[in-house]
Structure 1
Amino acid sequence: MVRFIGPDNDAYVASVARHIDEFEELTGQSATLEIIAETDYVTNSLDALRSRLRGENAPDVYLSGPVSMWKLAGEELVEPLDEYIDNASDGYDPGDFLPQLLDVNRWSGRRADALGAGPLLEIPINWETYNLAYLPELLEQAGLSEPPATWEDYFAAAARIAESVPGVRGFAQRGTDMWHTMYTGFATQFWSYGATDFDADGRSAVASPAALRATGDFLDAVRRSGPTAWPDGHWLDVARDFAAGRYGLIVDSDHYVAFFEGPGSAVRGRVAYTAPPTGPGGLREANMWTWSLVMNTASGDKQAAWRFIEWASSSDFLTRAALEGNMNPTRQSTWDNDAFQAAASGWNGFAENSLQLLQTTARVLPTPMPEYLDVAALWSQALVDGYRDPVALEQILIETAGSIDLLPSRDVARSL
């Protein structure tokens, strides 16, 4: 019996659920799928997932991503995959994966070591970077002829839209006290300002002058032309609201294209896609994320677990999943697929823009460490607190940096 666990509201997990009988028919191996609420799965503590990853009925394979996986690797719940992928079945073709996506899932386990070296810890099944999506017609109504090229222009354009287009806010922005509030569009802006999470000595830099400027500009813009309900914005709400035409601009996950270009979208075929803006010094950074398959170290049958991973990350499966809404494809064969190219051809440059970002700009910006979820949770709470009390923003960031520096750290290289 192979056990797989993943979150709801996820197109990939929906594809697995839809086709899991195929795995059983192909392999003769029985499989079960446990789906838990995404709001419980993607949390600051990961308690709902961590509580299931040990014990007699622990899942063999689960879905994770960079910062979550770093924490779980620190708890010895991530099995290195080099031996398995080196001995993969004929036709699996590891070389078909976009190489950048395998690189960001290699890590030594040592705090602050760059990604791209060390064991392969996950197999990517979708990825996202943070592009600029916008509605040209709303920019025109606001008297703007071009999409904003800089973050200063982005925030100014958002203000113009909010002031001049009835019933529309300037820019969509997710925001809660959850870790991914800092990870997505905000991180892309923050690093583009020349700011960073940690300095060269390993101390928190979220209160540095560049960080204070980036955070202040961001929160001022949210108040002026962002969501009126901020900081109450789940990613799914943000995606659906933009697809309903309630915003002019968004810098967030480019896999939102599945919502923006989906059959129920009010803006289908009318969204344009381009690179995220540059910061004050001309720097453009684009954070990225991969949803990936992880083998649980506690799996009772790792060979069966690998057979499931092979099936669920094969070219055939991932191409089919992409056509069912699983964005963005991680294999070149999917991007080359005629049906996928036909679907993407009507998305106003989305495919070309996303691949160009991946190949030139996108990277996982946060500093790798097992405790990063705790870092991000403190940081996201600081954004919420600073939004509510702008006068105290600098002190809030100083205190947050101090709290981050007190977090216990752990070198997990030996466990990998």
Structure 2
Amino acid sequence: MNKLQLIPSGLAGLLVVAALAGCGYSPAKRPSEATGNTAGGLEGRTITLVTGSHPWVDAIKPLIPQFEKETGINVRVQGYFEDQLTQKLTVQFTAQSESPDVFMYRPLQEGKLFYQSGWLEPLDAYAIRDKEYDLADFSPQSIRSSTVDGKLAGIPIVTEQQILYYRKDLLEEAGIAVPATINELVAAAAKLNHPEKGVYGFVARGQRSPLVTQVSSFLYSEGGDFIEDGKAAINTLAAMKAFETYGSLLRDYGPPNVINMSWPQASGFFAEGKAALYTDANSIYRAVLGSKHYEGEGDIGFAPFPAGSKGSLPYNITSWGLAINPKSADKEAAWAFIKWASSKQMTLLTQQAGNPGPRTSVWNDPQGTTGFPVELASVFKQTINGGIDHDRPQTVDVAAAREQVGKIVQMIIAGEPNIRKSANQANAALQDILDKEAE
């Protein structure tokens, strides 16, 4: 999330030094050493790392000189905003460029396209050859999010799950318990909805494409999915119930302009005290707590995603991963960097800076939760090993697939008639996407 702010650079330096000492940091072995290959070291090699604009990058960049000192590998870092990153990578990979060697990517947005285009080096063999790396330490959901056609296409570095944010003071005043089910969420939103006072019962993403990730948890918790057994399934009874619930929450208890809101607008609206309930990714908590317009930050609470008829099944995904360019001339050096950056020690440091990581051992370490509010850390630990490993249709053309889902939900938000007919048409369009990709 490129608009979030991290700790000042000076404080980051102190954190790095203290944490390196506290977690027993030891230099990562070079791949040649880990595999018994003594034919030559990697000293003097130079790799290019292309990153998105993300707090994880802000946390890892001050540590890279340590990696360079210990391995002798030079790292050139190039950073881009999220949309620019995808465009940059696509242009270079299409041109068969050897650069970048290592890059950040979004597994669920670009993973299938990049892998099937031959732009992601399978990392299974790299990840399992060194037992000290401990691939089994990664949560199963994070690994599945990063797997395409049975191959590990990237290494998870940042994870996220959907949770419920709520105003403690408003719930207490109304005598309402924190919603534990979706039905309770709807009832609470209705009771807490007071537009005449400038406070709405519920807010979440209403923009067509962005809302798809957040409605996914409603869908899974009702027993549905976007695609079932290889077939489009966005017009099933479970799907329609989930879409109707999400859409009607925003229509009946959300702000008038909610259809134009993505996460920055929705989180800002909630942080300013204008909504009682808000569901979104736990990774954006800084945006919720960082508002200078709302002084009651202590009144913001965190809770697991409410349960539907099939239980609480929020998405639990790898939002960002690291990958290797198959055309790289220095794959061993590239892997050495990924291995270091995603190690237990570095995951601890980046997580202490507020970036939810994929390693179970770090979540079980008391030091691994110090970067989060205590209540939020507790929710993190409850959700890290549960939920569903995707938050959007798993297709090559993710944008087109999301368009079809978002279209249905936006019609519900707008109160349009003939939703079933429109859902059938959208489902047929999604199936057409799947059929074309299968050719």
Q: Provide the TM-score with structure 2 as the length reference.
A: 0.79
Residue 300 of structure 2 aligns with which residue? 271
Q: After superposition, where does 1:200-239 map in structure 2 within 5 Å?
A: 200=229, 202-239=230-267
Q: Give the corresponding residue for 1:402.
A: 428
1:52 equivalenced with 2:92 (yes/no): yes
Letter in 2 for 1:352: S
**2:139–2:385: 8 Å Cα contact kept in structure 1?**
no
More helix per residue: 2
Alignment deviations for residues 76-106 of structure 1 (CA, whole Å, 9 cap, x no partner): 1111111111234x85443443344334433
Structure 1 stretches of 5 or more lacking a match? 110-117
Corresponding residue of 2:64: 20
CA change 1:342–1:312 in 2 (3 A) is: closer
Match of 2:147 among 106, 111, 120: 106
Q: Distance in 1 between matches of 2:223 and 2:110?
A: 25
Equivalent residue letter for 1:306: W
CA shift in 2, pair 1:263/1:152, >3 Å: closer
- Write the letter of the residue equivalent to 2:226: D
User: What pairs up with 1:4-403 in 2 under 5 angstroms?
Assistant: 4-8=49-53, 10-41=54-85, 46-54=86-94, 55-56=96-97, 58-63=99-104, 64-88=106-130, 91-107=132-148, 109=149, 118-141=150-173, 143-163=174-194, 166-178=197-209, 180-183=210-213, 185-200=214-229, 202-261=230-289, 266-279=295-308, 281-290=309-318, 291-326=320-355, 328-344=356-372, 346-348=373-375, 350-364=376-390, 368-388=394-414, 390-403=416-429
Q: Structure 1 60/235 Cα, relative in aligned 2: closer, same or farther at 3 Å? A: farther
Q: Report the Cα offset of residue 305 of structure 1.
A: 1.2
- Structure 1 Cα separation of the partners of residues 289 and 251 of structure 2: 28
Letter in 2 for 1:85: A
SS of structure 2 residue aligned to 1:391: coil
How far apart, CA to CA, are the structure 2 residues paired with 1:351 and 1:25? Answer: 34
Distance in 1 between residues matched to 2:247 and 2:290, nearest whole Å:
31
Indicate the SS of the match to 1:51: helix
Distance 1:30 1:263, change over 3 A: farther
Does the CA-based 8 Å contact 1:174-1:231 persist in structure 2? yes
Could you tell me which amino acid in structure 2 is paired with residue 335 of structure 1? W
In structure 2, C-alpha distance between the alignment counterparts of 1:382 and 1:40, rounded to whole Å: 29
Shift of 1:409: 4.2
**Which residue of the partner structure matches residue 112 of structure 1?**
none
Whichever residue aligns with residue 112 of structure 2, its letter is W
Paired with 1:378 and 1:27, the residues of 2 have a C-alpha distance of: 48
Q: Compute the displacement of 1:309 (Å).
A: 0.7
Conserved 8 A contact 1:135-1:270? yes
Q: Which amino acid aligns with 1:384?
A: Q
User: Cα distance, 1:306 vs. partner?
Assistant: 0.7
Shift of 1:166: 2.5
State how far apart, in whole Å, the 1-side matches of 2:347 and 2:392 are: 27
C-alpha distance in 2 between matches for 1:207 and 1:387: 17
1:356 is matched by which residue type in structure 2? Q
Q: In structure 2, which of residues 48, 62, 74 is the aligned counterpart of residue 3 of structure 1? A: 48
What is the identity percentage for the equivalent residue pairs of Structure 1 and Structure 2? 23
The offset of 1:355, in angstroms, is: 2.2
- 1:329 and 1:267 mapped to 2: Cα distance? 28
Change (3 A) 1:292 1:375: same
Contact conserved, 2:315 with 2:388, CA < 8 A, in 1?
yes
| Partner residue in 1 for 2:39 | none
Take 1:287 and 1:396, find their aligned partners in 2: how far apart are those partners? 26
Q: In the TM superposition, what whole-angstrom CA distance separates every residue of 1:276-314 from its partner, at most 9, and x where no partner exists?
A: 1222x3533211221211222232321121112122212
Q: 1:49 to 1:246 in 2, by over 3 A?
A: farther
Change in 2 beyond 3 A, CA 1:29/1:374: same
Greater relative CO, 1 or 2 (CA 8 Å, sep 6+):
1
Cα distance between partner residues in 1 of 2:290 and 2:347: 18
Query: Matches of 2:397 and 2:436 in 1, distance apart?
Result: 6
SS in structure 1 at match of 2:50 = strand
Pair member with larger Rg: 2
Structure 2: gaps of 5 or more residues:
1-45
Shift of 1:35: 2.2
Corresponding pairs, count: 389
2:400 match: secondary structure: helix
Over the aligned positions, Cα root-mean-square deviation in angstroms equals 2.9
Q: CA deviation at 1:222?
A: 0.6
SS in 2 for 1:85: helix
Helix, strand or coil at the partner of 1:248: strand
What is the distance in 1 between the residues matched to 2:127 and 2:396?
A: 24
In 1, distance between residues paired with 2:219 and 2:160?
A: 18
Aligned-partner residue type, residue 172 of structure 1: V
The DSSP-based 3-state class of the residue aligned with 1:361 is coil
